[in-house]
Chains A and B, each alone.
Chain A
Amino acid sequence: MIVESGQLALVLALLATGYAVVASVMGVARRSPELVMSGRYGFYSTVILLLVATAALVHAFVTNDFSVRYVAENSSLAMPKAYTWVALYAGNAGSMLFLAIIFSAFALVAVGTIRKRLPYTAPYATAIMAMVLLFLLAVMVFLANPLSRLDVVPLDGQGINPLLVHFGMFIHPPVQMTGLIVVAIPFSIAMGALLAGKGGNDEWVDLGRTWGMIAWLILTLGLLLGSWWAYTILGWGGYWAWDPVENSALMPWLAMTAFVHSIMVQKRRGMFRMWNMVIIIIGFTLAQLGMFINRGGPVPSVHSFAQSAMGWIFLGFMAFTLVASIAVFVSKVDTLKSRGRLESMLSRESAFLAQNIAFLAVAFVTLWGTVFPIFSETASDVTITVGQPFFNLVNGPLLLFIVFLMGIGPLLPWRRATIGGLIRALRIPLAAAGVVGLIFMIVGPRQPVATVAFMTCAMVLAGIGHEWVRGTQSRHRKGENYAKAFMMLLSANRPRYGGYVVHISIIMLAAGAIGSSFYSVQRDLVMSPGDTETIGEYTFTYTGTTHQSHPDREEDYAQFEVYSGDTYLGEMEPFRAVYPDFRIASTRGAIHSTPLEDFYIVPSDFSDGGQAVFRVLINPMVWWMWASGPIMILGTLLALAPRREPSPATLRVPAGMRPAGV
């Protein structure tokens, strides 16, 4: 009965969402406040209905109700109850329900804020969000119902994919899915404004920026958590392998990063109005592409746990929204003329434009590399997969250029700068880059590309640090002590300095990626109990293996005594589990992590007599990548913190500055 209640709740949510689309559009067309409000309340009610459906599915998992197909396919009696949360979105149908409930909750908050500040845009934005939810609900009700019953009830379920039985599964997939679907909110606000004929005077920009940054932050965290998860299971190729599913999450992130920068130009200068619409359309399209590839798309990936034809339905919806968005954009393009103009090629606006183009270039290269296997198969019946070397070769320089712009852009004022001013502002950052280059030339391993990359990172950090110092000194000269001056500097310019904090976190991320890409040491070793090996500073002794049998898996734990020089680091215990029913082996590396480097052991194979094959790595600076996450959150929150500018009544314009007639 609980399951049937959930099924009914899904159908009712579908009907309420459909009503929300129609009522919102008709309400604004007829200028009927009652109809608009009715559509909005109908949309709100879907949150409660989807909560009921989700509760029904959770109850089915907890009570091992294998009459529900999705429960039978994604859990078993042996599955720990804690993994009910993971099983909820481990398969296609469940992940659709997860997407729907998360999106409806975010949309509820979004509509609540939009309706107050953008009353004419809000009904259209609500209708677009409702259409996205309607699509998810229609797929669930008609094609992939997570609460559908089986005719014959099995005694036990098939169990969850063993690769998903990992702590990372609790947070990475939900955060990643949330990030992808939340991109629909800034898209809806932008398109809603266009449809309402309110896009021409930057009405939607503040809320579009806020929700764009929220989506960007969630996408960033999803990518970071995914990288961390992959890193602990080294068989996946470290933290990043340019796998199609990884790429599909990266592409919308790239577009949204471009968007959160260029929207600032529209907010400050009334420029890039068309450009921002184009970027948000690209961002939402790429987010949908991500959901398509993740749901059994045609591109082979180690992530594609759920193979199905559902991906093609997502592709169809993506095509529909893309065509519809372009049609709306073209029909309203005349209203999107810029208020300001680019006064100089040497200005912050120009830097943002160059950075935007670079981000979209990386997104395009990544897209091309990701979908190339499809084209190659269509053209020649041979699937040619594009691997890491292609992405590293093409995207590497582009990403380095973006980091370089990150160092230049903040030093450029809005509107215009002079070459002399820029050179003056660049003296300290360039000196810092030079010092780093010199250090690498003298003591570091000779890796010219890595040296240039680290020099660029040093330039960015020194630029930010130098600006903070100069800003603090400036306030200090007006009588504030240094601590207060620094805090007031940050507080009074939150978007700017929040952005700088995010830039620092990006540099931490980049440093980790550069260090581990260029200076990683890797060895494959065959070791017997009692063997001792040395790599770099590390000496490690393989003391033996412990075997554990579980109902669903066989586990082998290897024990190591590890020293760094003369310092005992402790015992490390990587393991390998084999799941006979799934014919899958899963490994977990043991990592000793410090800010300088990670010492990493992962087992490849165990044989009789305790002999085993291990991959041992020293990965420099990876710690900084994981440490960048909290700083990124802090910076984004700082940038998002609201601060109202003084109203015109509080400012007196000096008489001499008034234009004629004022």
Chain B
Amino acid sequence: MLIIIALVLALIPTIAILWPFVVGVRRDEFAEDESAPIADLMRRWDAAVAGLKSSELDHAIGNLTDQDYRTIRRQLMTEAAVVLKTMELEEAEEEQMLTAVRTEMQAVRARVLGETISES
């Protein structure tokens, strides 16, 4: 009986450990990088929006003078705008890269298969 229990217990970590190798992984663990520029931009965006919210509140309740509020708001809006602009650039760069890949694939197909299929 003890042997059966031992086998059952040993199966628990064994199955857990072997599962990814046997069944495979559905999703690449490293598909998304927390340090990717877009993730960093999102954090900067969140910080800017949170800053705007709290400066609005601090101004509304009188903790922040009009002049300081205007200065801080300008800084944070600039930060938010820079983030937006950079995101647009990121998207543009991504589009450029995708276009380059498509062109390259067409060239490969043409070279290897003799096909001339347009990506439309």
Contacts and interface: CB of A to CB of B under 8 A. Distances in A.
Interface of A: 1, 4-5, 8-9, 12-13, 15-16, 19, 23, 27, 31, 33-38, 41-42, 44-46, 48-49, 52, 115, 117-123, 197-198, 200-203, 205, 267-270, 411-418, 420-421, 424-425, 467, 470-471, 474, 492-493, 496, 645-648, 651, 653-654, 657-659, 661-662
B99 interface: no
B30 A270 contact: no
B58 A413 contact: yes
Contacts of B5: 1, 5, 8
Contacts of B9: 5, 8-9, 12, 49, 52
B1 A1 contact: yes
A81 B43 CA distance: 53
Interface string B1-38: 11001100110110011111100110111111111000
Nearest to B71: A416
Q: Which 6 A-B pairs have the closest CB atoms?
A: A470-B61, A16-B13, A45-B16, A33-B29, A37-B20, A41-B16
Contacts of B95: none
Nearest to A467: B61
Contacts of A417: 63-64, 68
Contacts of B107: none
Given A1-B1, A470-B61, A493-B54, A662 B82 contact: yes
A121 B34 contact: yes
Interface residues of B, number: 61
**Interface hub of B44, B61, B80 (most chain A Cβ within 10 A):** B61
Contact of A12 (B12, B21, B25, B65): B12
Contact of B62 (A5, A269, A425): A425
B29 A42 contact: no
Nearest to A656: B77
- DSSP class of B's interface residues: helix, strand, loop or mixed? helix
Contacts of B12: 12, 45, 48-49
B98 interface: no
Best-buried of A269, A411, A415, A662 by chain B (most CB within 10 Å) = A415
Contacts of B29: 27, 33, 36-37, 115, 119, 122-123
B84 A653 contact: yes
Contacts of B62: 421, 424-425, 470
Nearest to B8: A5
Contact of A421 (B46, B63, B77, B82): B63
A416 B72 contact: yes
Contact of B30 (A49, A117, A120, A654): A120
A653 B39 contact: no
Contacts of A658: 81, 85
Contacts of A41: 16-17, 19-20
Contacts of A37: 19-20, 25, 29
Given A12-B9, A413-B58, A120 B34 contact: yes
23 contacts: A5-B9, A12-B10, A33-B28, A38-B20, A49-B12, A117-B34, A119-B34, A120-B34, A201-B40, A203-B40, A269-B47, A416-B68, A421-B62, A471-B57, A471-B60, A474-B61, A493-B53, A493-B54, A645-B46, A654-B77, A657-B74, A659-B78, A662-B82
Contact of A8 (B6, B77, B87): B6
A268 B16 contact: no
Of the candidates A35, A269, A492, A651, the one having the most CB atoms from chain B within 10 angstroms of its own CB is A651
Contacts of A471: 57, 60-61
Nearest to B24: A34
B5, B35, B71: most-surrounded residue (chain A CB, <10 A): B35
A645 B33 CA distance: 21
Given A5-B5, A5-B9, A12-B12, A421 B20 contact: no
A100 to B, nearest CB: 15
Given A48-B12, A493-B54, A413 B63 contact: yes
Given A34-B25, A37-B29, A201 B17 contact: no
B25 to A, nearest CB: 5
A445 B63 CA distance: 36
A270 B50 CA distance: 13
Nearest to A17: B13
A413 B51 CA distance: 10
A657 B21 CA distance: 54
B4 to A, nearest CB: 10
A662 B84 contact: yes
B61 A118 contact: no
Contact of B35 (A13, A203, A270): A203
Contact of A1 (B2, B60, B61, B71): B2
A645 B34 contact: no
Given A41-B17, A413-B68, A33 B30 contact: yes
A653 B34 contact: no
A37 B22 CA distance: 12
A262 B9 CA distance: 45
A415 B40 contact: no
Contacts of A267: 47, 50
A424 B64 CA distance: 10
A487 to B, nearest CB: 15
A420 B77 contact: no
A349 to B, nearest CB: 12
Contacts of B17: 16, 19, 23, 38, 41-42, 45
Contacts of A424: 62
Contacts of B64: 413, 417, 421
Contacts of A202: 43
Given A33-B28, A49-B12, A645-B45, A4 B2 contact: yes
Interface in B78-109: 78, 80-85, 87
Nearest to A422: B63
B20 A413 contact: no
Nearest to B68: A416
Contacts of B2: 1, 4-5
Given A115-B29, A198-B35, A496-B54, A662 B13 contact: no
A657 B54 contact: no
A659 B81 contact: yes
Contact of B25 (A33, A45, A646): A33
A661 B31 CA distance: 33
Interface centre among B31, B74, B80 (most CB of A within 10 A): B80
Nearest to A1: B2
Nearest to A270: B47
Contacts of A1: 1-2, 5
Contacts of B16: 16, 38, 41-42, 44-45
